[in-house]
Amino acid sequence: MNRPPPLHPSPQGGGGARRTVRAFLGIAVACVLAACTAEQGPHASIILADDAAPKLSDYGFFATPNAGAAVSEGVRPYDLVNALFSDHAAKHRYVYVPKGQSAKYDPNNVFDFPVGSVLIKTFAFAPDMRDPALNERWIETRLLIHKQEGWVAYPYIWNAGQTEAIYAPVGGKQTIETITPDGQPITINYAIPNRNQCKECHQTGKELIPIGPKARNLNHVGPAGVNQIADWTERSILTGAPADLPTVPAAFGDGALEDRARAWLDINCAHCHKADGGASNSGLFLDWHETDPTGWGVHKRPTAAGRGSGDNMFVIEPGHPEQSILLYRMDSTEPGVVMPELGRTVIDPHSIELIREWIAAMPKQTQ
Amino acid sequence: MRAILAAVSVLALASACQPQAPAAPAAIAPGPTAYTDLQKRLIEAKPGDKIELAAGTFDFTDGLSLDVDNVSVTGAGQGQTILSFKGQTGAGEGLLVTSNGVTLSDFTMQDSKGDGIKSKGSDGITFKNLTVEWTGGPLATNGAYGVYPVESKNVMIDGVTVRGASDAGIYVGQSENIIVRNSRAEFNVAGIEIENSTHADVYDNVATKNAGGILVFDLPNLPVMGGHSTRVFRNQIVENDTQNFAPPGNIVANVPTGTGLMLMANKNVHVFENTFDKNKTAHVMVIAYSSEYDDPTYNPLPRDFVIRDNTYGEGGNDPQGRLAPLAPALGGSLPAIVWDGVTRYGEKGDKTEEVRIVVREKPEVGFINLGLGTTPPDLTKAKPSTERLPDAQIEEPAAVAMPGKEGA
């Protein structure tokens, strides 16, 4: 049996061994109470129920009673080559595919996960994000569950004692005091999305669809220390992956500037800015596979930007980041201007620097 | 004992059989939990639900959203139920609808930071007896659109008032089968705009005190193009004299202050029985899309337009915007109907198709063909002519009707 590794340091920084003992004691007590009839691990009947479970622990994704500290068998941590910027939050992602089934590989789009699959994402902050593992606190856990009739999104908010997360269809707001990875003290009016807002980003046509688990986003060494596509294949989470896999450069890594900028736009914008996404009517398409420079904004006029244009004529004016609507909206936190519309309430200087550098490097065009 | 038991069971049966209608949930009232109460109701609604809002002012700091089909949201009346977004800190609009068969009625929305009410991808969306307004007057910092159905079909806008939108008050984009009627648009940049849409009836509305009263546009580089079949009739399009306050970059920033009706690109647009008065640039302007663009599938020409039986008061007496330089050569004013005379487009100016602009008005109604020939137009090459184009039989689109409902 694979013992899942503990994924989070305990808030008190206590020893792993002691917690393991506590966890075993907890399981033993639970067994006595339930006469050991309850199946351990993720519960299909709860995952596939008509409604959301009231508590995150009800699903059995994490070892009880200390929900969120260690995963059950079959729940696998993963991460992405590039992540959506979410107000500096740390994110812990897990995939669960029902035993005996696998997601089907797709070279471009999200893998085809079987019914009963769950993607789990916990958003967390530490007092100082330069050391995000130290005294980390979980804020919320979002579940994407593939039910019979399609994917649904359920938000859960963690309690103060960090012992349970409660279903919160309306989301919420929390004030987070932290220090950014650059060492700046910051107060974040952190927004936990409601169920509709989950769908606003996770929309493809009329359907709710996951965003992250695509081959190009997963194709690197993840938190388990192995290439994730190989790891998922070995564990039968995934089937059909070829030897030759697509890649996307790390946005803040060493690749070519244009590739890094396009990679950043792909994960931060393209969930809406794609032909069948929430921002389809803008005609601005920022996904990795877009081939038309007008499509990704070069000399493209705004459609419905209103004051989001910042008095600029084009989404991207080559050579002139200061005249480009794209950058103007990244450099704002004001509703009606800020992009993305959801999920960001503070400015990310690193993203701005990347996009500024990219637009500045484009050859100037005369009008 | 047995008798008592029998009586109890009869009582139990009687009470179980009592036909009790499930109590309708109470109207949501203003208060500290109103936002959560309402958004929860919107999320957990079942098709057929009617969500009621009590009278009073609701102060919301975040946007609302609805994604359940066949739900209605009803207030106690315009000016009675007021949703104020003055303190909004999140979301791109006041209310976003992404489901089908939704009716919104009888409330006022104020001061949303972005758009007012947006519906995206809705089949069947009714905006009835609503007011959407920005209370600080016409400001560039107001939201872009008041009522904003996009990529939607079967759109009914009836009895709606919009004030202060920094783009278009009532804006219907990339949509099909549309009615806009009995509505009032004032102090917006554009009063009512139908853009990249097909089969729209715009009638019995008042568009006044906007920079431009009513616009029918077709624009390039959008997922839905080729707008056609719009009828604009029996509207009051008067005194559109608010200085254009759109943030530059947006297409409506190019609308000259004092324009009554502006028709750009598009096909098969019929304009009749409207009243135009006191629009100082021009009552009716018919133009090709004149900005540079890169979209080989786009046709920038207005084609198959009929303008007939309208009433024209004074206007064109103080032209603003890019046509203003032409006015001195024309005696200082523009006639009621202005056509740019563009019939060719494309990089070499060699693409064309038959352009029919039918003006079936009394002889005294002024008309000018600026004779600009090709787009992008060069005003120094204008060859103005007051001769109307030949009359032609251009079939008028049938009245728009909503499926399963009363139509026009």
This complex has an ipTM of 0.82
Q: B113 to chain A nearest CA, in Å?
A: 5
Q: What residue type is B23 in one-letter code?
A: A
Radius of gyration, CA atoms only, chain B: 25
What sign for the dihedral angle of Cα A234, A236, A238, A241?
Answer: positive
Tell me which residue has tokens 């499926």.
B403
Asked if A323 is an interface residue toward chain B (Cβ–Cβ < 8 A), one would say no
CA dist., res. A161 & res. A106, Å (int): 41
What sign for the dihedral angle of Cα B27, B44, B69, B175?
Answer: positive
By mean pLDDT, which of A250-259, A312-321, A335-344, B103-112 is the weakest? A335-344
Long-range Cβ pairs for the range A312-320 (8 Å, 24+) = A312/B248, A312/B249, A313/B248, A313/B249, A314/B249, A315/A284, A316/A359, A316/A362, A317/A359, A318/A359, A318/A362, A318/A363, A318/A364, A318/A365, A319/A359, A319/A360, A319/A362, A319/A363, A319/A364, A319/A365, A320/A359, A320/A360, A320/A364
pLDDT for residue A21: 40
CA dist., res. A83 & res. B406, Å (int): 50
The whole-chain average pLDDT of chain A stands at 88
Give B-chain residues touching A281 at CB under 8 angstroms.
Answer: 120, 150-151, 173-174, 222-224
pLDDT for residue B204: 98
pLDDT for residue B293: 86
Give the percent of chain A with pLDDT over 90. Answer: 77
Minimum CA–CA partner of B61 in chain A? A335
Best of A301, A316, A322, A367 to substitute, by most chain B Cβ atoms within 10 angstroms, is A301
Instruction: Give the H/E segment covering residue A263.
Output: helix A257-268
Closest CA to B261 of B286, B226, B234: B286
pLDDT for residue B21: 58
Q: What residue type is B215 in one-letter code?
A: L
pLDDT for residue B380: 86
Q: B219 to chain A nearest CA, in Å?
A: 9
Best of B67, B97, B189 to substitute, by most chain A Cβ atoms within 10 angstroms, is B67
pLDDT for residue A25: 42
Reported as a single tens digit per residue, the pLDDT across A16-72 is 333 334 444 444 444 444 434 445 779 999 999 999 999 999 999 987 545 556 788
pLDDT for residue A27: 42
Asked if A365 is an interface residue toward chain B (Cβ–Cβ < 8 A), one would say no
Contact state of A325 with B167 under an 8 Å Cβ cutoff = no
DSSP state letters, A287-355? STT---TTTTTBTPPPSS-GGGGTT-SBSB-TT-GGGBHHHHHHT--STTT-SSSSS--S--HHHHHHH
Closest CA to A75 of A2, A148, A15, A18: A2
Give the A window 170-209 contacts with B, CB below 8 Å.
170, 173, 189, 191, 194-197, 199-200, 203, 206
Among B90, B166, B219, the residue with its CB nearest the CB of A335 is B90
- Extract the residue ranges of chain B whose pLDDT is less than 70: 1-23, 405-408
Contact state of B167 with A189 under an 8 Å Cβ cutoff = no
Among A206, A303, A308, the residue with its CB nearest the CB of B222 is A303
Whether the Cβ atoms of residue B216 and residue B239 lie closer than 8 Å to each other:
no
CA dist., res. B397 & res. B285, Å (int): 21
